[in-house]
Amino acid sequence: MYARLSSVLFPIAAILLVGSLIWGYQEHQEKNSVLIKAENQYQRAFHDLTNHMSRLQDELGQTLAVNSVSQGAQRKGLVKVWRLTSEAQNEVNQLPLALLPFNQASDFLSRISDFAYSTSVRDLTKQPLTNDELKTMKSLYAKASDINKDLDKVESAVLSDRLRWMDVEVAMASKDEPGGSTIIDGFKAVDKKIGSYPENDWGPSSMSTKSKKTVQMLTGPDTSSDEIKQKALSFLGTRAFSDKESEVKVEETGTKTQMPIYSVTIKSKNGDQLSLDYTRKGGELLWYMNPRKVAVRKLSLDETRNKASQFLLRHGYKDMTPITYDQYDHVSVFTFVRQQDNVKVYPDKVTVRIAMDNGEAVGLQAKDHVFAEKTTKLAAPKIAKQEAAKVLHPEFKVQGYSLSLIENEEKKQVLCHEFVGKVNGSSYRMYINADTGVEESIEKIPESAKALLK
C-alpha cells in the first residue's frame, strides 16, 4: 500500500519541486531584468548629465567669444544655454539623489536657466547684454569648468571601477548615513563646491523671478490677534455664524519667516469651517474660503458678475474690472484687475468665487492686490494705437482695446496697447509695448471667458 502511495505522490512532489524551481528562476530573472533596466537608465542619465554640462561650458565660452555687437549670435547661444541647462536639470531629477544634499547644484542650474531664458527672450538689438550680465556669464563659464572637472572624476571612476548606481540607491535608502561611495562622495563634493561660490549678480530680470513677497513690502503697524478677530467678524458679518465670539479661532503662523500671518477659522451656521488669512503687519486680508457645497445653479453669468463687483466694492476694492471668468461645481470664478486712468493694471488683481445658487461670495484670493503698488505712475504711451496695431496679424479681427500695464517675461512692468480679438478661430489678447512697438505677450482667451467680451 505504501509502495503504491509513494509511487503516486513521488511524481507529484517531483513536479511541484521542478515547478517551484522554474518559478523561482523566472522570478529571479525578472527581478534581474528590472534591476538591469533601472541601472541602465541611471547610467544613461548620469553620462547625459556630464555630456550636457560639458556642452553647457562650451556654449557659454562660445557666446562670450562672439563680438558684442553680434546680438543674433548671442541670443542663439543663450537659447542653447537655456536648453542645455534644462536638460541637465531633467537628468539630475532622474538620478537617485533625493536623499543627497544636492540642492545647491539644483538651484545653481535653475538660476542659470532663468538667467539665460530672461536675457534671450528680450530684443538684444534694443537691450544688449550689460557689462554686469557679461561679467555674470564669465563667472558662470569659470564655475562650469570647475564643476565639470569634478564630474569628470566621478565619471572616470564609474567607468574604470564599473560602479553601479543601484548600489548608491541602496546605500542612500539605508538608515545609516550614506557615505563611502565614490559616486555619493563625488556628488557631495560638487554640491559643497557650488555652495561655497560667491553669489552671482544675476541681474534685475533674473532676480525678479526669484523675488518673494515679504513683510517689508507692506505698510501699517503690526496687529494683534484680537484686532484680526474683529476684522474677520466685520468681513463676514453676523449672518455667517450664531455665537460669533466663541466660534472664532485665531492662530499666528510663520513668526520666524518673512511673512508672519494670522490664520482665522470660524464655524458657520451650516457647520462649514470658514478660513481667512491676514498679514500681521497692516492686517491685510490675503485669502478667504467658504468650502460649502453649491448644489444647484440658479444665477446667470451677468448676475454672478454683478454680485462679485458688489462684493468687492463693499469690502473696499475699488476701480476693479473683470478680465477672466470660469465656472465649475456651480461656482463662478472671476479675476478682477484694478483700473487706473482707463489703464488696466494687471499686477494688481483679485480672484472672487461666487456661488451660483444665491450669489454668496465663497472665496477670495487677494495676495497680488495686497502686495501691488498702490500709487502706480503711468506715463503716456510713446506709440499711438494705430501704430501698434500694425504689428498685429493681418487676419486678426479686433473686438476690443485698452491700455494695460503688465509684467513682461523679465518681470518688469511695461505699458502696452492691449488688443482683444480673433484669428484662426480662437480669441486672444495681444499686448504691444506702448514705448517700443514690440509684441510683449500673447494670451489665449479660454472659451469660458469669451462671455466677458460680449
- Tell me, what amino acid is at 368? D
Which stretch of 105-114, 185-194, 400-409 has the lowest confidence by average pLDDT?
A: 185-194
- Looking at the structure, tell me whether residues 392 and 309 fall in a common domain: no
- Looking at the structure, tell me whether residues 71 and 142 fall in a common domain: yes
420 in a structural domain: yes
Q: Which of 148, 175, 209 is the last residue of a domain?
A: 209
Mean pLDDT of the chain: 78
Residues 235, 236, 237: CA angle, nearest 5 degrees: 100
Which stretch of 84-93, 235-244, 264-273, 338-347 has the lowest confidence by average pLDDT?
A: 235-244
Range of the domain at 347: 225-371
- Looking at the structure, tell me whether residues 58 and 188 fall in a common domain: yes
User: Residue 384: its pLDDT value, please?
Assistant: 92
- Looking at the structure, tell me whether residues 415 and 322 fall in a common domain: no
The model scores a pTM over 0.75: no
- Looking at the structure, tell me whether residues 114 and 203 fall in a common domain: yes
330 in a structural domain: yes
Examine the pLDDT at 204 and tell me if it is beyond 50. Answer: no
- Looking at the structure, tell me whether residues 144 and 237 fall in a common domain: no
Average pLDDT over residues 95-120: 70
Examine the pLDDT at 257 and tell me if it is beyond 70. Answer: no
pLDDT more than 90, % of the chain: 17
User: Residue 8: its pLDDT value, please?
Assistant: 55
**With bands split at pLDDT 50, 70 and 90, how would you rate the model's confidence at 18?**
low
Q: Which of 153, 176, 209 is the last residue of a domain?
A: 209
327 in a structural domain: yes
- Looking at the structure, tell me whether residues 346 and 242 fall in a common domain: yes
- Minimal CA–CA distance to 361: which of 249, 451, 264, 237? 237
232 in a structural domain: yes
Q: Which of 165, 182, 209 is the last residue of a domain?
A: 209
140 near 60, Cβ under 8 Å? yes
Examine the pLDDT at 210 and tell me if it is beyond 60. Answer: no
